[in-house]
Amino acid sequence: MKIKFWGVRGSIPSPRAGTVRYGGNTTCIEIRTDDNELIILDGGTGIYPLSQTLLKELPVTAHIFITHSHWDHIQGLPFFIPNFIPGNKMRLHGAFDPVSGRGIEQVMDVQLQYSYFPVREAEMKANIEYVSLSPGQTVQAGSATVTATLLNHPVVNLGYRVECNGKSLFFTGDHEPHYNIYSPDDESYAIYQELIEAQERMIFDAMRGVDVLIVDSSYTIEEYPAKKGWGHGTFDSSMRMADMVGAKTLFCTHHEPTRDDDALEREFAKALERHPRREGLADFRLAREGIEIEL
C-alpha cells in the first residue's frame, strides 16, 4: 500500500512564499493498494493537482471517502477532472447529515448549483455513485477494507481505517480529543465522563496498531485554550494518542493556515521535546505535500 499527501493545510488554502515547503492546499490523501486501486481521503483543494496526474491512466475508478462536509475537505471535488470524462467512475463515501436529513450526495449537489459553479452534475460525463456510511460500517474499496469511526467535531466527522494485505492506516479528518463539559462537582459530570470514555475506547480501538496514523494537529498547547470546542487537536494530543494506540508512525496534519513553514517546524520541535522518543514508540513527522510512503 502506498500513501501520498496532496493537501495538508486546514481551514483555508494558504498558498504563499511561507508555505512552499509543506504546501498550501487543503486536505487530500491518495492511497494506492498493492493492485494499484485508487482510494482518496477527503476532497480539499489538493484533489485538483492529484486529478491532473490521473489523466495518464484513464479510465479511472476512484473510491473517495469524505470525513465531513466543511469546505476545506470538499471544495476541490467540483474540480476533480475525471468526473468530466466518459468511462470514469467516482464512488463518493461519507456520513449522513442529521441536520439536513441527506446523505453524502448533498456535498456535490450543493456545490454544483449554478449560483456557485458553472457545470451541473447532470453535465458531468463520469459515472458518479454515492454511499452514505454509518459509524462502525466497513466497506470494500477494491482489495482494501475501509471502516468508518465517529470522531469529535462540530459536525459529523468520520475517521477512516484503511487495511490492505496486512498493512493499515487511520485518518482522523478533523478531531478534538474529548473533554468533560461539566465541572467535577456537577451531578452530570460522572455520567458524561462515562460516555466520553466509551467513545474514546471505540476510537482508540479503531486506531490500534496502525502502521500510519494521520491526525488533525492544528494547534499548539498554548493556543488550544482559546480554541477549545472548535473541533481540532494539538501536536501534543496527537502524539499522546499515537503512543496510546501503538501506531508505528504519526503524521501531524491540518496545519494552521496562519502558521508559515518556519513557525510550523518550531512548534513541532517544541512538542517533540515534550514527547521524547525511545525504541518501540511511534515515529513523529509533519505531513508535507508530495510525501510518499510505501508500506
Q: What is the pLDDT of residue 60?
A: 97
Q: What is the pLDDT of residue 99?
A: 86
Running along the chain, 295 residues long, what does each successive block of 10 average in pLDDT? 98 97 98 98 98 97 98 97 97 93 94 92 94 97 98 97 98 97 95 96 98 98 97 98 98 98 98 94 97 97
The x, y and z cell numbers of residue 281, run together, are: 514508540
Query: What is the SS3 assignment for 245?
Result: helix
Helix (H) or strand (E) holding 237: helix 235-245
Q: What is the pLDDT of residue 74?
A: 98
The x, y and z cell numbers of residue 165, run together, are: 494485505
Query: What is the SS3 assignment for 80?
Result: coil
Q: What is the pLDDT of residue 49?
A: 98
- For residues 271 and 195, what is the distance between their CA atoms, to the nearest angstrom? 29
CA-wise closest residue to 253 among 231, 241, 238: 238
Residue reference for cell 514508540: 281
What is the set of domains in the chain, with CATH numbers? 2-294 (3.60.15.10)
